[in-house]
Amino acid sequence: MNFQDNPEEAAFRAEVRDFIKNELPASAKDSDLFERGMYRGAFERLKDVRQKLAGRGWIAPAWPKEYGGAGLSVMQQFIMNEEFAENRVPPVGGMGVSMVGPTLIVHGNEEQKKEHLGRILSGEVQWCQGFSEPGSGSDLASLQTRAVRDGDDFVINGQKIWTSGAQYAHWMFMMARTDPDAPKHKGISYFLVDMKAPGVSVRPLTNLASQDMFNEVFFEDVRVPAKNLVGELNRGWYIGTTTLDFERSSIGSAVGIRLQLDELVKYAKEHEGDGTSRTGYMTSLKTELADRYVEANVSRLMSYRVVTMQAKGMIPNHEASMTKLFASELAQRIARTGVKVLGLYGQLYGEGAPMRGRYESSYMTSLASTIAGGTSEIQRNIIATRGLGLPRD
């Protein structure tokens, strides 16, 4: 890996830094939104940021310029994401920019692109993903939600689960079974569904931290116009798993972990011996903090490895799984260390608590980090079979 920017990359990094320093308001550098995600009014709070980014095509940096993106290279995307993360600037595109937009650019027809791409960039429409089902998580191809053709519509019945932000979304991109007699990968189609359509109901799922991040979504005779079918009938699996040339190094996560740890170490030093930190009489915690800091830098190096491969035209496979696995388990270890540092104060939540109660919340929410986006078990299987060449169990 080359850790130095070439002249063009250095110039672009300087441009990004200058933009953050001189054009983004202080409200854009929001640690809560950066670390906890953006739901419930956050998009409105970042409206000015969105407008400034849109002027440069940076809301969708990987999209072609003809569709309102910036057409940035893999390394330029990486640099922009890295600098934004260092300054705690949260992404404003959501799933519309990162998932359904690119899918429509590749597989959608002109009518679908015209209807949806502009509204994704403007932020007026938010999207959620309808893939997982109660009995189809790791084995997604076994999904059972049905879509049956009826004249100019498809009628959808079934259920989705773990649907992030569904209670705030205007539209869903989803996969449903359209040919129950075909092999499971070949009878699935890809649809765009209006979340306000009759028969769609959303039930939030409250997690351990009393947050409604995930949802169940139910479909009861929901009529979806046939024009909202993306690509060919029964080819939705291949559309849904399309690999696009995006910067997927998770550098934002790696930088976020290090920034969080920096704040924890700073807090421990400032409060040593005052009763709100246990580092004064638990020397072992200092060693634990050092371990976390080493791991945070390892996570960043893993991100560098992924983007280096992509910049060379290679496709990271088990390397990306290693990065995801390590970062998600590290997030849990840092949350655990944070609670230890704060002692009994680590059980408090709210603005008046030490460190604003961050570790009471992160200790509970980090539980999902090794489940969402592919479980640790799935990642280890990928690493074992595709990385180490071990036989399937």
Known catalytic residues are 247
Q: Cβ(179)–Cβ(187) under 8 Å?
A: yes
Q: Cβ(161)–Cβ(133) under 8 Å?
A: yes
**Cα angle, residue 338 at apex, residues 334 and 341 outer, rounded to 5°:** 135
Residue pointed to by tokens 């007699």? 181
H/E run at residue 147: strand 146-150
Secondary structure of residue 171 in the 3-state scheme: strand
In sequence order, what are the residues at sequence separation of 6 or more whose Cβ sits closer than 8 angstroms to the Cβ of residue 362?
331, 334, 335, 338
Secondary structure of residue 220 in the 3-state scheme: strand
| Residue 184 to residue 207: CA distance in whole angstroms | 32
Q: What are phi and psi of 8, to 5 degrees?
A: -65, -40
- For the beta carbon of residue 359, count every other beta carbon within 10 angstroms: 28
Which residues are bridge partners to 128 per DSSP?
Answer: 172
Distance between the two ends of the chain, CA-based, in angstroms?
Answer: 34
Which among 327, 312, 112 has a CA at the least distance from the CA of 226? 112
